[in-house]
């Protein structure tokens, strides 16, 4: 069993882990199950966590590995985010986003749909780096791939998003 301090610190990342889980599974109930399994594994294997290292990155790595093990291999029909999937009463995946007006909600919904269209390896890296704010070196650690691959996938993900969101003005490109 994990010590209480590790449990407390791990629970500080619950919302961020859930946000990534929603974008990986594209389903709120499956995302909750994925996060629950992530915490079960983290607490079961807490003896493997090295004190003084990045707990947040370790938790994200467990979530991603759990997703790959249990969820990715299941055959599902392609799913796209619907307006109902982005519950605007809950914390947004964009942590520092200002209060939303109608146009902001529409833009976030469109961005969510565009993100859902990205392949998992692009979507996950982009969310970890651009939304969660992980340094690229930590993203590489979480994704278990070289730093150059992370940079390449971020570039390619942004290029695809630009294509998906081409109807937006230049202020949304960058």
pLDDT averages per 10-residue partition of the chain, 174 residues: 85 94 88 95 92 92 91 52 43 49 72 86 92 93 94 95 79 50
Q: Domains in the chain, please, with CATH?
A: 1-79 (1.10.1740.10)
Task: Please answer whether residues 32 and 17 qualify as being in contact, where contact means their C-beta atoms are separated by less than 8 angstroms.
Answer: no
What is the reported pLDDT for 74? 59
pLDDT at 73: 58
Q: Catalogue the long-range contacts made by 39-43 (C-beta closer than 8 Å, 24 or more residues apart).
A: 39/10, 39/11, 41/66, 42/2, 42/10, 43/1, 43/2, 43/7, 43/10
Asked if 109 and 83 touch (Cβ cutoff 8 Å), the reply is: yes
Hey, CA dihedral for 5, 63, 20, 50, is it positive or negative? positive
Beta-carbon contacts of residue 35 (< 8 Å; ≥ 6 apart): 14, 17, 18, 21, 63
Residue 100's pLDDT is 54
* Residue for token pair 């949304």: 172
Q: What is the pTM assigned to this prediction?
A: 0.69
CB 118 within 8 A of CB 157: yes
């Amino acid at each position: 069993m994990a010590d209480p301090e590790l449990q407390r610190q791990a629970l500080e990342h619950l919302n961020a882990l859930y946000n990534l889980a929603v974008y990986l599974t594209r389903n709120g109930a499956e995302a909750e199950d994925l996060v629950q399994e992530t915490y079960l594994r983290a607490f079961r294997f807490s003896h493997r966590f090295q004190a003084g290292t990045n707990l947040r990155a370790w938790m994200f790595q467990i979530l991603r590995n759990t997703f790959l093990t249990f969820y990715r291999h299941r055959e599902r029909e392609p799913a796209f985010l619907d307006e109902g999937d982005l519950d605007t009463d809950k914390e947004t995946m964009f942590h520092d986003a200002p209060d939303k007006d109608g146009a902001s909600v529409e833009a976030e919904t469109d961005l969510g749909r565009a993100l859902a269209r990205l392949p998992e390896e692009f979507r996950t890296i982009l969310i970890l780096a651009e939304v969660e704010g992980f340094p690229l070196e930590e993203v590489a650690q979480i994704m278990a791939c070289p730093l150059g691959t992370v940079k390449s996938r971020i570039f390619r993900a942004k290029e695809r998003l630009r294509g998906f969101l081409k109807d937006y003005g230049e202020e949304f490109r960058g």
